[in-house]
Amino acid sequence: MLRLAVVLPVFNHGGTVQGVMREVRGLLPDVPLVVVNDGSTDETGRVVAEMAQGDAKISVITLERNGGKGAALLKGFAAARELGATHAITIDADGQHDVQDILKLLEAAEEHRHDLIVGMRDMEAGGGANVPTASRKGKEFSRFWLRVQTGQDIPDSQCGLRVYPLEYVLGVKHRFPRFDFETETLARLAWAGVRVRSVSVKCIYFPPGKRVSHYRPFVDTVRGVWVNVFLVMRRMVPWPFRRLTKLDPAHEHLSLDKWWRWGTWRVAILRVVATGTSNSGLAAAFAMGVFIGLTPLYGLHTILAIYFARRLHLNVLAAVIGSQVSIPPLLPVWIYLSVGMGNLLVNGQWLALAHWSEIRSGMIPAMLLGNLIVAAAISALGLFLARGLLYCFRPAVARE
């Protein structure tokens, strides 16, 4: 049986937190509620204190300075663990969640006690007309990159309605303390062997004038991009991840040490033609292969393409095909472009080679710089061309 606690992070939600707390207590009267006041400067502190007065099930943690949603959640998780909880239900204080949806998440958590249960917002129904375009785009952006980072399809990485297994979420490191915490946690728990399950929930978006949001378009967008860059870079590093639970066999992938076997390639081929393989995933794998194939790591392109495709949960075959861009007939072209581009960047003029003997050791640094630019440009072109072709030949999976 799950031992539950509700963790509610709040920051300047004086107008909405009372209603959320009242609904949570009405739905789960016997479950402890941990409210973390993350340095609020409005009437939130007073409202929370009044709600907690005389209710032994409500605990209030007050932080003097705002440290971010992630930092507040971790404080709440630690307090919930001290109260004897095994799982923490999290909900946002802005009133955008239907509290009744908690029951749906708890049903999934009871059946899958070792999994992280995440709400999946329906942005079309209900208040869908009021959903900011940035929220829709951000949801799909994060979904793609989490698939690359974890190999799991997590449709909504930003929904705050979740059920966390405390043993696991407190057992992994966290570097990002604000909104980016929720994306980082999904990746780190997946790396630790935890399955992330999504449950459909309602999405309540109020009109702009009534909406409580602390999202800063530029700063938080940059944070969102950086957390995904960091997670992809960490995923590519050949350093093992700490396992907290046994990995679900359904999410095991082909191992690098089996790349020479026909069975490995047979499965990879089947994955290419399977409708479950996304167009964006195939195009990204191909583009990554092109980039690797254009680097001067001759003799290692195929092995590196296999390795990075497996680390980033991309399609092996598509990556290997892309890496063959440096086959002998095309190799002189890439060297010519690299030398010319490198000299243009370093010396301000394009350098055309008449003979291979003209390449001197002093030109190598400029050539490597030019090679990086050429590889990035050609791989970006390959990405767009692959997406276009896949859209034509696989329209059934064009929407991802």
Whether 224 is in a domain gets the answer: yes
Report the pLDDT value the prediction gives residue 253, as an integer from 0 to 100: 44
Are 327 and 375 found together in one domain?
Answer: yes
Mean pLDDT by 10 residues, the chain (400 residues): 92 90 94 93 91 90 91 95 95 89 94 93 60 66 84 86 94 89 92 92 67 62 85 86 68 48 63 62 89 88 86 83 84 84 83 61 80 92 89 64
Same domain membership, residue 301 and residue 212: no
Boundary of a domain, candidates 185, 206, 236: 236
Q: Are residues 268 and 209 in the same domain?
A: no
Query: CA 119, CA 203: separation in Å to the nearest integer?
Result: 10
Are residues 221 and 91 located together in one domain of the fold? yes
Q: What angle do CA 96, 188, 148 make, to 5 degrees?
A: 85
pLDDT at 275: 45
**What is residue 257's predicted lDDT score, i.e. its pLDDT?**
46
209 plus 150 within the same structural domain: yes
Does 249 fall in a domain?
no
Within-domain flag for 158: yes
Question: Could you give the CA distance from residue 108 to residue 387 in angstroms, rounded to a whole number?
Answer: 36
Q: Pick from 180, 201, 236: which residue ends a domain?
A: 236
Give domain status of residue 83, yes or no: yes
In a domain, 372, yes or no: yes
Flag whether 175 is in a domain: yes
One domain for residues 171 and 286: no
Q: What is the CATH number of the domain that holds 83?
A: 3.90.550.10
Name the pTM for this structure: 0.70
| Domains in the chain, number | 2
User: Do both 232 and 260 map to the same domain?
Assistant: no
Last residue of a domain, one of 203, 236, 269: 236
Spell out the long-range contacts of 358-363 with Cβ–Cβ below 8 A and sequence spacing 24 or more: 363/339
Q: Which domain holds residue 389?
A: 256-397
Residues 211 and 273 in one domain: no
Shared domain check, 200 and 94: yes
User: Residue 94: inside a domain, yes or no?
Assistant: yes
34 and 153 together in one domain? yes
Q: Is residue 279 part of a domain?
A: yes
102 and 157 inside one domain: yes
Task: Judge if 212 and 277 occupy the same domain.
Answer: no
